[in-house]
Amino acid sequence: MGSPAFFEVRTHDRDVAAESLNLLIEHRPRMRFADPAAVDVSLRSANYDRLGADAVRIGGAQYSGAVDGAAFLLAGAVLQGNGVLHRGRESIVLPRTGGFLYPTGVPFTADWDDVTLAIVRMPITEIAELAEATSGLPAADLRFESVTPVSEPMRRYWSATATHLVRQLAVPDANLPPLVLEQLRQLAAATLLTVFPNTMMTAARLPGPGRVPPAAVRRAVAFMDAHAAEPLTAATIAAAAGIGVRGLQVAFRRHLDQTPLEYLRRVRLEHAHRELQVAEPGNGTTIKSIARRWGFANPGRFTAEYRTVYGHLPSRTLRT
């Protein structure tokens, strides 16, 4: 299970508030308020392996935090209130539902006014691996070039995704199955690469590798079939196939017209289907528990994918 290091704080004390928020990212805090009794700060935070999520509420106060440079990528959405992000001489206003990405390794200051935030934290290396797999951009060359989304639709998409991730992750006793946690990591990384301007967007035309023999694809398929119940990354699958991550992506597109992770998802859907077939109705087995065991965190999406592949709802399979 993916058991997080979870903590929750709610306080009306500004010093406790600053100390709690400093656990997320080291910074120099400053709080201004008209009425000390109105200060209401709450924080729910979860730290998993290579992924963190925070639900933050700073009520009744204006809060400022100066950061010398974060070692990880921190991105969020403004669910209530507003803020301003200062980087050098640049100041960026963040309204309600605005998305933001704190730059890594450079100083910045964030000013928040009576704000509620959904925040996701990831190592840049986790995102760079996906960028290399999908575009061919060397992982070391990934850079995020702006702190705000590329467009209005992408802003809305990021706000919805960040909210979903925090609701899944920043809860006590989450006990997420390993495959669900793997899917949430992939969702976070892929969304960040899509939403925020980065060097991968200009690397899409990089030439792919030369011919990859079908035997490498067969090795990758056999590895995924045998290890579908384990958390797998594109890098792990590529290593088992004896090729690079970019070569793996290109070969799967060429020979199977899908990505390796799309193939893996279909394998896991088949495992869920088999479990539904043999489950005894009334013994406590649920569609949700089976779906989560095989990495499907969203029941609605699982149902839609299942119906597309098998022609009926999973509830019908479970009943019969």
- Distance (Å, whole) CA 91 – CA 300: 40
Residue 2 confidence (pLDDT): 47
pLDDT greater than 80 at residue 176: yes
- Distance (Å, whole) CA 94 – CA 98: 5
- What is the average per-residue pLDDT within 224-245? 92
- The secondary structure element, H or E, covering residue 135 is helix 124-135
Average confidence score pLDDT of the chain: 89
- The secondary structure element, H or E, covering residue 116 is strand 108-122
For residues 218-257, one letter each, b for 16 or more C-beta atoms within 10 angstroms of the residue's C-beta and e for the rest, the string is ebbbebbeeebeebbbbbebbebbebbbbbbbbbbeeeee
- Distance (Å, whole) CA 160 – CA 77: 9
Copy the structure tokens of residue 217.
Answer: 């694809």
- The secondary structure element, H or E, covering residue 122 is strand 108-122
Task: List all residues 6 or more positions away from 275 whose beta carbon is below 8 Å from its beta carbon.
Answer: 285, 290, 293, 294
- Residue 28's DSSP bridge partners are 66
What would the pLDDT profile of 64-90 be if each residue is shown by its tens digit?
A: 999 888 888 999 999 999 999 998 888
- Distance (Å, whole) CA 318 – CA 281: 7
pLDDT greater than 90 at residue 137: no
For residues 102-111, one letter each, b for 16 or more C-beta atoms within 10 angstroms of the residue's C-beta and e for the rest, the string is bbeeeebbbb
- Distance (Å, whole) CA 279 – CA 276: 5
Which amino acid is it at 111?
A: D
- Spacing of C-alpha 199 from chain mean position: 19
pTM of structure: 0.84
pLDDT greater than 80 at residue 209: no
Residue 136 confidence (pLDDT): 73
Residue 250 confidence (pLDDT): 85
- Closest by alpha carbon to 72, among 155, 141, 6, 128? 128
* Token pair 């805090």: residue: 29
In terms of pLDDT, which residue wins out, 25 or 187?
A: 187
